[in-house]
């Protein structure tokens, strides 16, 4: 994931520097690694705010880590642009230094809930999530709110952190006792291995139902499972799963950037590379000859970048620092992600 993020940053940095930068000043990137650990995140934030040459921060990978450092950056008037942290809890109280180029969980939850109910005809679902994760809890909250608004029912919510979790039993209860039609998988990074075991149990049970009159249990999920490494290892278990994701290279608006990135890096890129490219483009546009933390912060609020200079959509931020990029739906077909045509 770190490599995916760094590719997007580097691609924007390289384009800017090859054109001579701004008034012959180039963009220099410092790299810090927090290992997705909040305690390390706070130490890094403390160091970065002391360094006056740091004009903005791009990161962090997870919503839980970035939440730890937000107050530190706010006090230092240091802008932070996140390409990957989608939790709605991050801007519950508003934070003038926080921006993001990834669609929020509010948009992702709405997209998936609407498609599940109106296009797939799903009325009852069970959700598997991590209650200790800001991202997982946020996505669960937003999906639930939107699904219930259109008369869908969340029959059960199952916490992946439960040490006594019996996946076989939970799936059986959901399918036979509660009559659910889909399992919704909202893990964070840490709980992904457990949720993949859930998918495996669903796949096994669906295989046994193949010659019966009972409907198969469908799989739905969020962006954490939108990962080619996972697909290569567990693709059979995830077949036919529909995901709501921040960006997909095969949408018409994304193809030009996806092709340029594939040429740059020698292979197809992920959504994290696209949103990290956009985050760096936003920072570049916020620079000025006399750039300071306060000028960067002020100029970020007025950023408007045409789609020809982003990963596919016009980039600008609303009053909460949220970009207006929209999530897309993909489906696992034959071990690959395919665009869902709505």
pLDDT tens, residue by residue, 247-272: 999 999 999 999 999 999 999 999 99
Residues 125 and 146 in one domain: yes
Q: Is residue 70 part of a domain?
A: yes
Residues 63 and 130 in one domain: no
Range of the domain at 178: 106-245
Neighbours of 36 (CB within 10 A): 17
Residues 117 and 68 in one domain: no
The pLDDT of residue 92: 60
Indicate the residue among 191, 226, 245 that finishes a domain. Answer: 245
Per the structure block, which two tokens stand in for 81?
A: 């642009």
Residues 110 and 239 in one domain: yes
Q: Is residue 321 part of a domain?
A: no
Residues 126 and 199 in one domain: yes
CATH (domain of 236): 3.40.50.2300
Residues 99 and 110 in one domain: no
Contacts of 293 (CB under 8 A, 6+ apart): 55, 56, 76, 77, 78, 79
Q: Give the predicted TM-score (pTM) of the model.
A: 0.91
Q: Higher-confidence residue: 64 or 17?
A: 17
Residues 241 and 287 in one domain: no
Confidence of residue 212 (pLDDT cuts 50, 70, 90): confident
Indicate the residue among 203, 226, 245 that finishes a domain. Answer: 245
Q: Is residue 338 part of a domain?
A: no
Residues 134 and 235 in one domain: yes
Confidence of residue 88 (pLDDT cuts 50, 70, 90): confident
Q: Is residue 41 part of a domain?
A: yes
The pLDDT of residue 185: 98
Number of domains in the chain: 2
Q: Is residue 326 part of a domain?
A: no
Q: Please give the average per-residue pLDDT across 63-69, as a whole number.
A: 85
The pLDDT of residue 93: 62
Cα 123 from Cα 139, distance rounded (Å): 18
How far from chain centre, in Å, is Cα 256? 21
Q: Is residue 157 part of a domain?
A: yes
Indicate the residue among 192, 220, 245 that finishes a domain. Answer: 245
Residues 154 and 124 in one domain: yes
Residues 69 and 120 in one domain: no
Residues 55 and 67 in one domain: yes
**Range of lowest pLDDT (56-65, 164-173, 298-307):** 56-65
Longest dimension (CA), the chain: 70
Q: Is residue 324 part of a domain?
A: no
Confidence of residue 184 (pLDDT cuts 50, 70, 90): very high
Q: Is residue 333 part of a domain?
A: no
What is the DSSP secondary structure assignment for residue 181, as one 8-state letter? S
The pLDDT of residue 228: 85
Residues 240 and 115 in one domain: yes
Q: Please give the average per-residue pLDDT across 287-293, as a whole number.
A: 95
């Amino acid at each position: 994931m770190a490599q995916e993020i760094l590719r997007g940053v580097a691609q924007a940095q390289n384009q800017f520097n090859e054109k001579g930068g701004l008034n012959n000043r180039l963009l220099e990137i410092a790299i810090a690694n927090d290992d997705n650990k909040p305690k390390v995140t706070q130490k890094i934030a403390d160091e970065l705010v002391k360094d006056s040459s740091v004009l903005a921060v791009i990161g962090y990978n997870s919503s839980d880590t970035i939440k730890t450092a937000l107050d530190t950056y706010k006090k230092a008037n240091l802008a932070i642009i996140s390409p990957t942290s989608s939790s709605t809890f991050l801007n519950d109280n508003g934070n003038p230094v926080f921006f993001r180029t990834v669609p929020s969980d509010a948009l992702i939850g709405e997209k998936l809930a609407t498609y599940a109910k109106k296009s797939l005809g799903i009325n009852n679902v069970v959700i598997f999530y991590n209650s200790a994760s800001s991202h997982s809890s946020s996505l669960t909250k937003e999906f639930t709110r939107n699904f219930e608004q259109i008369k869908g029912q969340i029959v059960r919510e199952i916490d992946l952190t439960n040490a006594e979790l019996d996946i076989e039993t939970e799936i059986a209860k959901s399918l036979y006792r509660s009559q659910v039609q889909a399992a919704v998988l909202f893990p964070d990074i840490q709980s992904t291995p457990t949720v993949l075991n859930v998918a495996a149990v669903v796949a096994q049970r669906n295989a046994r139902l193949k010659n019966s009159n009972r409907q198969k249990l469908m799989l739905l999920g969020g962006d954490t499972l939108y990962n080619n490494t996972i697909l290569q290892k567990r693709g059979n278990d995830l077949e036919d799963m529909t995901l709501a994701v921040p960006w997909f290279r095969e949408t018409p608006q994304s193809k030009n950037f996806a092709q340029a990135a594939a040429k740059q890096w020698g292979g197809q890129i992920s959504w994290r590379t696209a949103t990290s490219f956009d985050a760096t483009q936003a920072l570049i546009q916020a620079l000025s000859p006399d750039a300071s933390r306060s000028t960067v912060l002020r100029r970020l609020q007025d950023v408007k970048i045409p789609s020809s200079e982003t990963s596919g959509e016009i980039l600008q931020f609303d009053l909460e620092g949220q970009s207006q990029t929209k999530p897309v739906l993909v489906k696992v077909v034959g071990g690959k992600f395919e665009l869902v045509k709505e």
